[in-house]
Amino acid sequence: MQPQWQGTFISEALPAAAGDPAAYFRREFDVAEPPRRAILRLTALGIVVAHLNGVRVGEDVLSPGWTSYRHQLDVLSYDVTDLIVPGRNALGAVVGEGWASGNLTWLNQRCNYSDRPALFAELELSYADRTEVVATDDRWRVSTGGVRDNGIYAGETFDARLEPDGWALTGFDDEQWSTASAYAWELGTLREPVAPPIRRQEELAPVEIRSTTDGRHIVDFGQVLSGWVRLSVTGPAGTTVTLRHAELLTPTGELERETNRTAEATDRYVLRGAGRETWEPQFTFHGFRYVEVDGWPGDLVADDLRAVVVHSEMTRTGWFATSSDLVTKLHDNTVWSMRGNFVGVPTDCPQRDERLGWTGDLNAFAPTGTFLYDVRGVLDSWLRDLSAEQAETGNVPWFVPDVLSNVCTPTALWSDVAVNLPWQLYQEYGDPEILRRAYASMTAFVRQVEALLDDRDLWSSGFQFGDWLDPNAPAKDPSASTTDRYLIAQAYFCRTTAQMASAAELLGKHGDAEQFGALRDRVRGAFRHEYVAPSGRLVCESVTAYALAISLGLLDPEQRSRAGERLALLVEQAGYTIQTGFAGTPLVTDALSSTGHLTAAYRLLLQEQCPSFLYPITQGATTIWERWDAVQPDGTLNSTGMTSLNHYALGAVADWLHRVVGGLQRLEPGWRRFRVAPEPGGGLTWARTAHETVHGRVGCSWSIEDGRMRLDVQVPSGTRADVVLPADPEARVVEVGPGEHCWQYDLAPVLSTAGTSTFESSLREVYNDATAWPRVSAVLEEYFPGASVETALGLFGDSPMSTLVDFMPERATDLERDVRAALAPEASA
């Protein structure tokens, strides 16, 4: 039932302009006796920080967060019983512009929801015989204080000299303050929060402080993060300390601020001059690793600064580590990117003039995100916003909240988040209510696209993002991928219709299920007729095209096998570098391993040459980059205008790490039944994976030592697991129930092809030998400098290594000797 609100929104009398200070509100009231209970209900158009009798209320930050304000605005509730005193009390709040009236998007549009910050509050005092309410109305006073400029992109300026002493305490003289004005806002938008609050999560100390010749300091916190810096400083009144934030340094050691684009990302603190002063911003946040400190009085030491990590309150539920430090770091970077982009809204990036809830990023990342954290609250709230905006315009926005109110035509992988995300959440948590709440939105999208199909049941028209950020696409046109964008659209719509048919059947909507099932069959048949030859080859021979056709179940068994061979060949011909963008990257390793090309999948995973999963790590990345080549080998930024260093979408490969390397695969919704089937390879000697499900923790740990395998499995109460013992000579598959289980056994004679090549092996076999190829390639580079491996594979890939001597008769003996030495078993010791 909707509450009967007694308050109204209040604001300053005039609209706010860029650079205006935050609004300070206050009101005093009398309490005759201590109430049994006191609840403060609070929200704002902007970001609000409340105080009661001088004490800050609540531990959350950036409240009330960002929702589709015109449809739903969160009202936070705080139990403040212990802060109420008999007699006179004072309630105050500071409201900054936040997402409501501040600059948003690359267009830097202001006043997207309101033309000024506004406050809404109700303090409910419950007594044995009555309830009293102190609400926002014309008895409140308003002025300004120490919080001056403030903006999500710009940063915050705080002048401690201007902060009114005791403004949130009783007895403060507010005679010079103005009477707050009523601000018109639909109270029907107010709701109890669905998402968890945003809070401070941890603090990082500087790992390095470097002083410049002109008195500035460059501070490295060692990790790209979302949040801000808290400082403690002593100095003369009026001294201004300026903090500029960036993700990267230039090769000369200065801040590289290009990734911020037009976001100033600068905080300023003006000292009061009264001993040691501690301050942190409250009305902004930044994506950064490095901070330039200018104007610091005296020596700057590590204890003076802390980076405060900020994101939505979420419980960690997924862990992974392996014997490769680089792969473990890839997973760690994925976790940090998710943390940095779950600040209320699941955003694309946290540092530049964007920070929007892009649907495609989240859709690609959903299986990974639901494994790593309990995201039910954050994403339930976000889906409600999506549904509300979709119902208003008829389209699923490309980002939610849709602050630009664009005409967002349906697009694959972006708009179909309306179906795929509820389906992923249902699979993870096993709660059909997730599907029931989203069902109207899901069906509206599918029926909208159905109406757009041509007379061959193909989604063949309209704008598509395609395989966004395919590394082969032009830098200025990331949607111009090598894969036909309508092939991608059709493939993803095949997945969407299949999910829709299953969801309808699950919810007992059998008529819908029959209709969506028929649609699924039609679009799948249309895909195969248009894009697939009977042999299994695709008309668009790209890595992404094959990954989609294989992983989304669009081929029959024989075609699938042939497609797997073609995919493995394409990946090989690309030198095991990444050839995929948003559409293909989440699926390519799975498409390889599931068609019997595990070695190729590991070669793709372990490649360090750009573009690759591990190249950014070799360049010092601590999060996932927007582009594979965002930073060049010389440390310079790849200037494309889109080079965020904290962009989680391409970290979607972590889903494959969890399932195939780590071995944990969900078989039934909510993990009632799961499969443990790790597939060791790539020279990895151990991996550990754990996931906290709704039933408890599932875990898999495997290790190889001296030719023996050890596998440990954890199965929680109420579940069962099918365990496939990796590289077991007897190929055992065991069903187990709750408890801790362990197997130890000698490995099958050949775990993988690694290290098995000889001088009579073909060039292709040696190339695909992850152990031998790095040594052999070094020899070949010496004898054939500058030669193209891809060309050699195309011409001589099936010829034995021994034929190489025919191309260098004058050095044949030396070449054969060095290649044989590189292939010798002892060379890998």
The DSSP 8-state label assigned to residue 716 in this structure reads: -
Instruction: Write a three-state SS string for 409-426.
Output: CCCCCCCCHHHHHHHHHH
What separation in angstroms does the CA of 441 have from each of 422, 511, 743? 10, 17, 47
Rounded to whole angstroms, the Cα distance separating 524 from 539 reads: 16
Over the Cα atoms of the chain, what is R_g? Answer: 30
CB atoms within 10 A of CB 521: 15
Q: From the candidates 156, 292, 626, 765, which is the catalytic residue?
A: 626
Contact of 543 with 570, CB cutoff 8 Å: yes
CA 144 to CA 121: how far, in whole Å?
A: 19
Tokens of 639: 């200037």
Residue 300: Cβ within 10 Å count: 19
Strands 720-724 and 673-676: parallel
Strands (E) located in 313-402: 318-322, 342-343, 345-346
What is the C-alpha separation between 491 and 420, in angstroms, rounded? 13
- Distance (Å, rounded) from C-alpha 189 to C-alpha 118? 14
Q: How far apart are CA 821 and CA 816, in angstroms?
A: 8
CA distance 481 to 579: 10
One-letter amino acid for residue 762 of the chain: S
Catalytic-residue membership of 514: no
CA 576 to chain centre: 25
| Residues facing 709 on adjacent strands | 704, 745
Closest by CA to 710, choosing from 721, 701, 722, is 701
354 part of the active site: yes
Residue 681 has which token pair?
């390879």
Q: How many CB atoms are located within 10 Å of the residue 564 CB? A: 23
The upper half-sphere exposure of residue 251, i.e. CA atoms within 13 Å in the direction of its Cβ, equals 9
d(CA 270, CA 238): 6
Alpha-carbon distance of 497 to 416, in angstroms, equals 10
Task: Look at the block and give the residue holding tokens 């998402």.
Answer: 195
Chain position carrying tokens 């060379």: 827
Q: What are phi and psi of 307, to 5 degrees?
A: -85, 125
The CA-based angle 556-558-562, given to 5 degrees, is: 110
Q: Which of 256, 354, 679, 692 is catalytic?
A: 354
Distance CA 756, CA 769 (A): 7
Count of other CB atoms within 10 angstroms of residue 5: 16
Instruction: Please say whether the beta carbons of 806 and 820 come within 8 A.
Output: no
Please tell me the distance from the alpha carbon of residue 528 to that of residue 536, in angstroms, as a whole number.
9
Q: How would you classify the pairing of strands 286-294 and 181-183?
A: unpaired
Contact criterion met (CB below 8 Å) for 172 and 90: yes
DSSP string covering 489-547:
HHHHHHHHHHHHHHHHHHTT-HHHHHHHHHHHHHHHHHHHHHHB-TTS-BSS--HHHHH
Alpha-carbon torsion angle 346, 349, 352, 358, nearest 10: -60
Task: Give the residue numbers marked as catalytic.
Answer: 354, 626
